[in-house]
Each structure stands twice: as structure tokens, then as C-alpha cells.
Chains A and B, each alone.
Chain A
């Protein structure tokens, strides 16, 4: 079992839909949970990170962490074609520990 599992997709949705992207993990010691967006042929861009459990909102993006279920989600409201990208989740023990990345979910938002 990989430490971080993420469905590769692709996930195809119409413009304006609410998108839900998810990751599961096995290491209960993870403290920081990150979401990155990666456009084709570009480097990953940090969207947001959350410490421990709970929700965090930034514009149209909401990150949710459920440590009891070892499950994290990223919700995108009012999705736009410009949101079409690969979304990677990552998790860290914190401090100087290197994050563990999921394989990424490809999202396609069609007009």
C-alpha cells in the first residue's frame, strides 16, 4: 500500500461545477496537508496547506482534512476551464521532513 493514494482520473466536469478531489493516506503521524496544481509542462504550484484537521478556504478553493478517516479533500467551486490541470496532494510530518506526494489527479473542465 502506498503511503498516499490519489485517483489519477481524468476527472471531466462542465464549467461551473463543484469539483471534489481526494487523497487517502496511511501514516497517521502526518501533520501538514498540501495541495498543488500543475499545468502541463510546468512545475507544481502550491495552492494551500492545512495544519492538522479542519477546513481552510481560499477564494474558490476549500481544503478539508479528516484525520480520523485519513482522508483529505480539495473542493473547487464554480470551476473554470483555466482550472484544468493536475492536482497533487502532499503530506508532511512537519519540521524538516520532506513531503510525500500523491501521483496527482488530472482535472478537465470543459466549457
Chain B
């Protein structure tokens, strides 16, 4: 089975712009979670989608949003980028809605905001 894929792998954006990141989960997985990873804060949970519905949400401002499509693929969007949004954005998928302890991560999208 193919693993979790994320596109693009690298992005450079300017402060104030917006960005959309994409994630394709492992085939058959229905839960997709997004995380932000920085050296200072570690891995921080953004949100989780299951069956096209946002089921869990972390403590991030409304500039961070996401969605999930009927094929379980997910996108996250960050509007009005700030320098502090520079991070590795990770997507993780789980097979079912009750096994979110067993998450498989993609390679991440490294976002640099200048």
C-alpha cells in the first residue's frame, strides 16, 4: 500500500499571502489529521477530519482551516500568512474513526514565510 502523500513538499511564501496544502491518506483510511511541527513547540495538533466532517480541532486561530473530500483526501489552508507560520506541516491518516491512536504520517510540507 502506498503511504500518506503530501504536496507540495516545499513552499516559500510571503507574509500576507495564503497557502493551500494537500494530503492523500493511505488507501482505505478515513481519518486525516493535520499537525504543525516547529523546533520550539514540537508537534501541535491543528484539526482532524473524518468522513468529510471536522471532528477535532486544536488551538489555532481561524486563519487555519481545512476540509476533507469524499475520497478522504484533505486540504488545509492558511490565510494571511505570518512569519511564525513557518513550519513543517504534517498530515497523518488513521484507518477508522476509533483508531486515531494509530496514525501514519506523510513526509510533510515545509513552509517558509518570508
Which residues from chain A sit less than 8 Å from chain B, CB to CB? 31-32, 34, 36, 41-46, 49, 88, 90, 92, 94-99, 101-104
Contact = CB atoms under 8 A, between A and B. Distances in A.
Contact of A88 (B43, B104, B108, B110): B43
Interface residues of B, number: 25
A97 B100 contact: yes
- Which applies to chain B's interface (DSSP): helix, strand, loop or mixed? strand
A96 B55 CA distance: 9
Given A98-B45, A98-B48, A42 B101 contact: no
A8 to B, nearest CB: 9
Among A34, A88, A98, A101, find the residue whose CB has the most chain B CB atoms closer than 10 A: A98
A101 to B, nearest CB: 4
A96 B45 contact: no
Contacts of A96: 31, 50, 55-56, 97-98, 100
B27 to A, nearest CB: 17
B108 A42 contact: yes
